[in-house]
Amino acid sequence: MQKYTRWSAILVVLMLALAACQSGSGSSGDPVTSADPVTSADPVTSADPGESMGTGTGSAADCDADEFGCIELAEGDPLVIGTALVISGANETLGTDSQIGTEVARQFRPKIADHEVEFDHQDDECGPEGGTAAARALVSTENIAAVIGTSCSGAGVPAAEITSAEGILMVSPSNTAPSLTAEDTHEPFYARTAHNDEIQGAAMAQFVCEELGLTTAATIDDGSPYADQLAAVFARQFEEQCDGTITAEEAVSEGQTDFSGVLENIAADAPEFLYFPIFVAEGALITQQAKATAGLDDTILGGADGYFTPDWLDAAGEDAEGHYLSGPDLDFAGDFYADEFLPAYRDIGGLDEPVSVFHAHAYDAYNMIAEAIEEVAFTDGGTTYIPRTALRDAFFATSGYEGITGSLTCNETGDCADARISVSQVTSGAFERIWPDE
Amino acid sequence: MPVRRSRLNFVNLFLWVLGGSILALAAFGAFLTIQQGRLSGDQWQTLIIAGIALGSVYALIALGYTLVYGILFMINFAHGEVFMWGAFTAYFAATALNDAGMMASNPILAFVLVLATAMLVSMLVAVMLERIAYRPLRGAPRLVPLITAIGASLVLQYTARGFYGSGVRAYPDFTLFDGSIELGPVGMTVKQFVVIASAITIMVLLYLFINNTRTGRAMRAVSEDKDVAAMMGINVDRIIVTTFAIGGLLAGAAGILYTLLFNQVHFFMGFLPGIKAFTAAVLGGIGNVIGAALGGLALGILESLGPNLLLTGYGIPAPNQLKDVIAFSVLVLVLIFRPAGFLGRKENV
């Protein structure tokens, strides 16, 4: 009898392990939405409320012709945009930051095609299970117009598949894994306003060898598509661009806390640079434990936008000092970002400073979706119709759109970013942008 | 039934061959790795120390599992959350003391205070758990408390999440424990030393308590046979509560030692160490106190040493990602060949 108890106990452990992967499902918080439109200031808003109706023309027949049909909004219906961002767990700042970005965008542009915009905020939990759950919840929402998400590439892979199968446009403000927009693996309705890590990895490699003048490096990833691919791009570029040597390409697992095995193995070759573009919790632990590893005393540490957040600074403490981090360049041209966007961000988020680096990308994603919707939407007897395939095509045809992050042009696999990478260093407990020079 | 017996032997033979070849592969891998000479002797030593430090935390949690199992024959799956609550309490106590400046002026007292609060809160959580989730179901079939344990575990997790949010919180640094020390030829960080020394002290105290006190004797009696123990005048309910309280104290201590090592608290942090400690308890023989301690140490060392030692030799890329695979493979092997664990006592039910 006892034997069976034990086996059933093991079974339960396995079940728990599975359940654990789906942890932390979040209720969709909707922080402060007393939309107080500041219309006049925004360069992008097509202010005239009387005239902002879609410029598209068509009839109900177009909806039948469209493979995925139309989004149909009766007069007065809200237009629902879903978000699937990580708003719980260790990486919550990454998604919260983008979510506030979308809220700011709505504050400046509360109506799209004459319909009030409503958000359906879901949590991508920064992983495939959360991404799947969030995407399924959103595609089953009636009349959802488009999805802004996901935060993490790991969540983006299944989410893009699910939304594309339903013909729902999904635009990510912060997925950076190359595979998402690679020729073979791109999902037709997926696009992003964040940079592709082919660019970020190359920039970091260039910074390490040209600016820091280092010749040996090691990488650690955590098995997520983001970290895995970014570390690989960095390694390849480091070898190709500057003839550097990669001494080890290690991997850890999510939730791991003791990294002595990995670090000792890396320390055996004493590389000059250690690159671990992973996420907040593990990133902070590796930062601390690398500092305490005997063979890594002189090794310079670096990471990427996955843990470019004050939470990581807090968690890593003094050991963060001197750390190099790559990420999107937030040194935007023009005054809109500093004068209009940031005050609204602080107001809506109740925060002093942005908590991550993709809020502007989320803002641009919202506005590009709005532009595309208004281009293809048409009214017929008071009902607004938005054909889904046409919406996708209009979005992908975006060219030279002037957003906060630059001039955005989408290619056929959904890369829309005006990608500019900068490297920051942690100096006196704060991020300081140091490269490239203005 | 001769036919059946011979089939069983065949199965046994197959299992032994399988186990033997896995062992041979592991030994050969270790041989190859050592021949490569990639890691130096000092590095191996560092890995072993790190493994012992982590293992002693596992051992403390595993003791909680094993004590409760020994008495109630149930797996208290919420035990990992008791550990998490200890770590959270330690976080708040340490932050408060840090803000009050006590960690700078009187670090040793501060540490003792933090340890005491963490252990007390964990003890309270464990006792309430027993009172609310388990005692009403004392006579129920065995799977029932197992399910409430899972429910209780979720309640504890999400209560912590509700109170403290879902982010990762960094632990204030005990500067008292910075630096490293040499014990003869073995060097380790002061933190590791504190963790290992505290864990061993606590385990020795527990052992003495169980073997040399009246309550300890009563606990052993209840674990032998509840009914007879009750007839001998032992208050079984009180002994069960005591057992949970001790398990909670140990988990609280484990919580603060774990955060001392890794500096982070998170509402979900109890899950993985909880599972690992449960594994350790099963490895050592669940219900067996010394077994749990040894199982924890073995698991810790295996995790930190295993990937580098067994896999590097075969040229497997990124071996450290597979450390949980190694740990759980060992669990499976042990369960196949010694279903009662290393030191498991004879099943009597």
Q: How many percent of chain B have pLDDT more than 70?
A: 96
pLDDT at A295: 87
- B214 lies in the same domain as B246: yes
Name chain B contacts of A90, Cβ cutoff 8 Å.
166-168, 266
Residue of B nearest to A315 (CA): B170
Residue B112: inside a domain: yes
**Across-strand partners of A383?**
A380
User: Which domains does chain A show, CATH number per domain?
Assistant: 53-194+334-419 (3.40.50.2300), 198-322 (3.40.50.2300)
- B274 lies in the same domain as B349: yes
Say how many CB pairs under 8 Å bridge A and B: 141
Name chain B contacts of A260, Cβ cutoff 8 Å.
46-47, 50-51, 304
- B197 lies in the same domain as B114: yes
Sign of CA dihedral A400, A402, A408, A412: negative
Q: Is B173 within 8 Å of A6 when comparing Cβ atoms? A: no
pLDDT at A100: 96
Q: Which domain holds residue B318?
A: 270-349
pLDDT above 70 for B8: no
Q: What is the pLDDT confidence band of residue B208, given thresholds at 50, 70 and 90? A: very high
Of B235, B251, B268, which residue constitutes the final position of a domain? B268
pLDDT above 80 for B349: no
- B263 lies in the same domain as B282: no
DSSP secondary structure letters along A87-149: -SSTTHHHHHHHHHHHHHHHHH--EETTEEEEEEEEE-TTSHHHHHHHHHHHHTSTT--EEEE
- B291 lies in the same domain as B250: no
Distance separating alpha carbons of residues B101 and B107, to the nearest angstrom = 9
Residue with tokens 């990833």: A221
- B304 lies in the same domain as B340: yes
pLDDT at B126: 93
Beta strands B169-170 and A273-275, pairing class: unpaired
Residue of B nearest to A318 (CA): B173
- B131 lies in the same domain as B232: yes
**Which A residues in the span 201-240 are in contact with B, Cβ-Cβ below 8 Å?**
223
pLDDT at A31: 41
**Chain B nearest CA to A326, separation (Å):** 22
Residue B1: inside a domain: no
- End-to-end CA separation in angstroms for chain B: 25
- B183 lies in the same domain as B301: no
pLDDT at A345: 95
With a threshold of 0.90, does the pTM exceed it? Answer: no
Residue B102: inside a domain: yes
Distance separating alpha carbons of residues B194 and A212, to the nearest angstrom = 38
Which tokens sit at B309? 């030692």
Q: Which residues of chain A have pLDDT under 50?
A: 1, 21-54
pLDDT at A20: 52
Of B268, B303, B321, which residue constitutes the final position of a domain? B268
Q: What is the mean pLDDT of chain B?
A: 87
pLDDT at B337: 82
pLDDT at A121: 95
Q: Is B317 within 8 Å of A249 when comparing Cβ atoms? A: yes
pLDDT at A7: 66
pLDDT digits (tens, 9 = 90+) for B290-332: 899 999 999 999 988 888 888 888 888 888 888 888 888 888 8
- B220 lies in the same domain as B263: yes
Q: What is the pLDDT confidence band of residue B37, given thresholds at 50, 70 and 90? A: confident
Residue of A253, A288, A292 with shortest CB distance to B324:
A253
- B160 lies in the same domain as B220: yes
pLDDT at A14: 66
ipTM surpasses 0.95: no
Of B268, B303, B320, which residue constitutes the final position of a domain? B268
The 3-class SS string of B211-271 reads HHCHHHHHHHHHHHCHHHHHHCCCCHHHHHHHHHHHHHHHHHHHHHHHHHHHCEECCCCCH
pLDDT at A6: 64
- B101 lies in the same domain as B83: yes
Q: Span B201-209, mean pLDDT?
A: 92
Residue B25: inside a domain: no
pLDDT at B334: 84
Domain count, chain B: 2
**Chain A nearest CA to B63, separation (Å):** 17
Instruction: Identify from B36, B188, B264, B345 which residue to disrupt to test chain A contact, counting A C-beta atoms within 10 A and taking the largest count.
Output: B264
pLDDT at B74: 86
Q: Is A88 within 8 Å of B143 when comparing Cβ atoms? A: no
- B133 lies in the same domain as B260: yes
Q: Span B79-103, mean pLDDT?
A: 89
Higher-pLDDT residue of A280, B184: A280
pLDDT at A5: 62
Q: Is A292 within 8 Å of B47 when comparing Cβ atoms? A: no
